[in-house]
Amino acid sequence: MTALRDLMPCFQGVVPAAIATCDSAGVPNVAYVSQVYYLDDGHVALSCQFFNKTRRNIDQNPYACVKVMHPVTLDAWRLDVKFVRAESSGPLFDEMELRIQAIAAHTGMKGIFRLLSSDIYEVLDVQHVPGYLLPGSSDAPRLEMGDTRAELRGLQVLSDRVSRTDDLAGLLKTLLHSLCELFRVQHAMFLMHDESDARLYAVESAGYETSGAGAEVGVGEGLIGTVAKTRRPLRVSGMGEMLRYGRAVRHEMQAEGAQLCEEIPLPGLCDAQSQLALPLVVGERLIGVLALESADPLAFQDWHEAYLNLLANQAALAIERLAERADEEPLPEPERPPLAARRRTFTWYEKDEVVFCDGEYLVRNVPGRIFWKLLKVHSQTGRTEFGNRELRMDDSLGLPAYKDNLESRLILLRKRLAERCPDVRLVPVRRGRFMLERDCELELEAR
């Protein structure tokens, strides 16, 4: 008998599993299962979203036969199983439900498409299916963890780098670029939680063609928003399959007249096949979400989740520490060289709280209000150095009185400027102080 633990790649949801059952009269039935969850070497749990024929059969006759397939080789195994019990609460249910919630949130079926129960089955026998593939096809390769010592070393190096960084922008850049360098992550993004409007906004990224700074996700929306809401890590392999399944259910529910929301586009890679999203939490407070993506459906394994969750906890503490540091005192204004003849027009739309640069969207909400204030003060007084403290004291900016994420908002603003208007820069000079530098004339208009 094959050991269940050797079939871990088959439990990643990349290739759907099938379950054969029969009722007490002996009529067979076969259906696909969205999730087969490895519990231990003698048990699996299957997700139950609908009280369907499979479930009714199991109530009459507890025996079933599950087909699982290796996602890389397509080789198959036969699991003879016997129903033990259904759980509709507890840690197992919560973990399986998280994935269903993510599908539901992403495909606009939040609260409608949900896990009814985690059905636990005793595994009576596991048999490789001979002849499923043509003779000479390669045996299923085991997905090894790799050199654990190398991964541990990588974790230590990354942890050291995070500890040593003394500014938030540097910390986020170090965190994401080290993930790519040390853990072979291809695409990583950090989204800061804005408690004032229950949204997450992308502040830093690595591995993407554009930074994506300013991209927003509501708490509870899509995969990242689900992680933010539940504060639990979520690893999705075979995202394409998961979303196809979700869309099939959505189509069926719409045909039944269900009122559904729009599908939430994934931030980041348009062809992401796997995603690992980790919440950064300090105490009860959500700092943000670290989202890793890959076009490889099997990019993230169990160990990634375990290792990187440790790192996420450390990063959360570091972000909190850096965001709370006291600002330094201002220096005298330096002499400014004459500007080039270029001119930039910044427009403030009061109603929408958005700043446009030369007719194109630049930034909005709190970072928009901050930027507009800086531009106004600079153009009226010529002042170039600003401090975080004065921004915190300005009620008109709408920063929360406590835990305002000001640093991360400034990082976002800097990134948007670097991408959309490199002639104007906010350059950190000392702790809590920065200069507004420009290589152009400014024209300001408010509408």
Partner 1 sequence: MIDGELKEFLQTGHVCVIATRDKKLRPDWGHAAGVRVLKSRCVVFVAPDSSNRSLANLRANGLIAVVVTEPLTHRSIQLKGERAKLRDLTPAEHKLAKRLAQSARQAVIEVGIAPRVAATWNFDALVAVEFELTGVFEATPGPKAGTEVA
**C-alpha 143: how far from chain center:** 24
Counting contacts by CB under 8 A, is residue 429 touching partner 1? no
> What CA–CA distance (Å, rounded) separates 60 from 404?
57
Residue 209 φ/ψ, nearest 5 degrees: -70, -40
Task: Order across the sheet with 385-387: list the strands.
Answer: 385-387, 433-438, 424-430
For the beta sheet containing 36-40, the strands, ordered from the edge strand earlier in sequence to the opposite edge, are 28-33, 17-22, 63-69, 76-87, 117-128, 43-48, 36-40
Examine residue 252 and tell whether it contacts partner 1 (CB under 8 A). yes
Dihedral over Cα of 163, 165, 171, 174: its sign:
negative
Q: Which of 52, 88, 89, 148 binds partner 1 (CB under 8 A)?
A: 52
Which one of 1, 5, 8, 32 is in contact with partner 1 (CB under 8 A)? 32
Q: Is 29 in the site for partner 1 (CB under 8 A)?
A: yes
- Is 382 among the residues that bind partner 1 (CB under 8 A)? no
Only segment of 76-84, 164-172, 219-227, 375-383 that touches partner 1 (CB under 8 A): 76-84
Other Cβ atoms less than 10 A from the Cβ of 413: the count is 23
The verdict on 190 binding partner 1 (CB under 8 A) reads: no
Number of residues forming the site for partner 1 (CB under 8 A): 52
Select 125 or 439, whichever has its Cβ closest to partner 1: 125
Q: Out of 214, 267, 297, 367, point to the residue binding partner 1 (CB under 8 A).
A: 297
> Which stretch, 24-32, 205-213, 344-352, 431-439, contacts partner 1 (CB under 8 A)?
24-32
Q: How many CB atoms lie within 10 A of CB 87?
A: 16
Does 205 sit near partner 1 (CB under 8 A)?
A: no
Per rule CB under 8 A, is residue 133 in the interface with partner 1? yes
| In the complex, minimum distance from the CB of residue 294 to partner 1, in angstroms, rounded to a whole number | 13
* Contact between 49 and partner 1 per CB under 8 A: yes
Long-range pairs for 51-58: beta carbons < 8 A, 24 or more residues apart: 51/116, 53/21, 53/29, 54/19, 54/21, 54/29, 55/119, 56/23, 57/21, 57/22, 57/23, 57/29, 58/21, 58/83, 58/119
Q: Closer to partner 1 by CB, 239 or 412: give it.
A: 239
> In this chain, which stretch among 192-200, 218-226, 245-253, 314-322 interacts with partner 1, using CB under 8 A?
245-253
Is the CA virtual torsion 269, 270, 273, 277 positive or negative? Answer: positive
Which listed range, 125-133, 174-182, 340-348, 396-404, lies at the site for partner 1 (CB under 8 A)?
125-133
Q: Which of 40, 90, 91, 134 binds partner 1 (CB under 8 A)?
A: 134
Between residue 270 and residue 289, which ones bind partner 1 under the rule CB under 8 A? Answer: 273
Q: How far is the CB of 244 from partner 1 (least distance, A)?
A: 6
Which residue do the tokens 């208009």 mark? 445
- Please identify, among the stretches 60-68, 141-149, 383-391, 431-439, the one whose residues bind partner 1 according to the rule CB under 8 A: 60-68
Phi, psi of 273 (to 5 degrees): -110, -20
Using CB under 8 A, which of 90, 91, 111, 130 touches partner 1?
A: 130
Residues 201 and 216 sit within 8 Å (Cβ to Cβ): yes
Least distance to partner 1, CB of residue 205, Å: 25
Instruction: Please list, residue by residue across 225-238, b when 16 or more beta carbons sit within 10 angstroms of its beta carbon and e when fewer do.
Output: bbbbbbebbbbbbb
Interface stretch with partner 1, choices 11-19, 84-92, 209-217, 421-429 (CB under 8 A): 11-19
Q: Which stretch binds partner 1 (CB under 8 A): 144-152, 226-234, 251-259, 435-443?
A: 251-259
Q: Which of 2, 6, 18, 232 binds partner 1 (CB under 8 A)?
A: 18
Per CB under 8 A, 245 contacts partner 1:
yes
Q: Are 14 and 72 in contact (CB under 8 A)?
A: no
In the set 2, 6, 20, 282, which binds partner 1 (CB under 8 A)?
20
Is the four-CA dihedral 356, 358, 361, 363 of positive or negative sign? negative
Name the residue nearer to partner 1 (CB basis): 28 or 422: 28
Which residues are CB-contacts of 9 (< 8 A; sequence separation ≥ 6)?
70, 71, 72, 140, 142, 143, 298
Query: What Cα–Cα distance (Å) separates residue 377 from each residue in 343, 345, 374, 383?
Result: 18, 16, 5, 7
| 3-class secondary-structure state, position 33 | strand
- Contact set with partner 1 (CB under 8 A): 15-16, 18, 20-22, 24, 26-32, 34, 49-50, 52-53, 61, 63-65, 67, 72-74, 76, 78, 80, 129-135, 137, 240-241, 244-245, 247-249, 251-253, 255-256, 273, 297
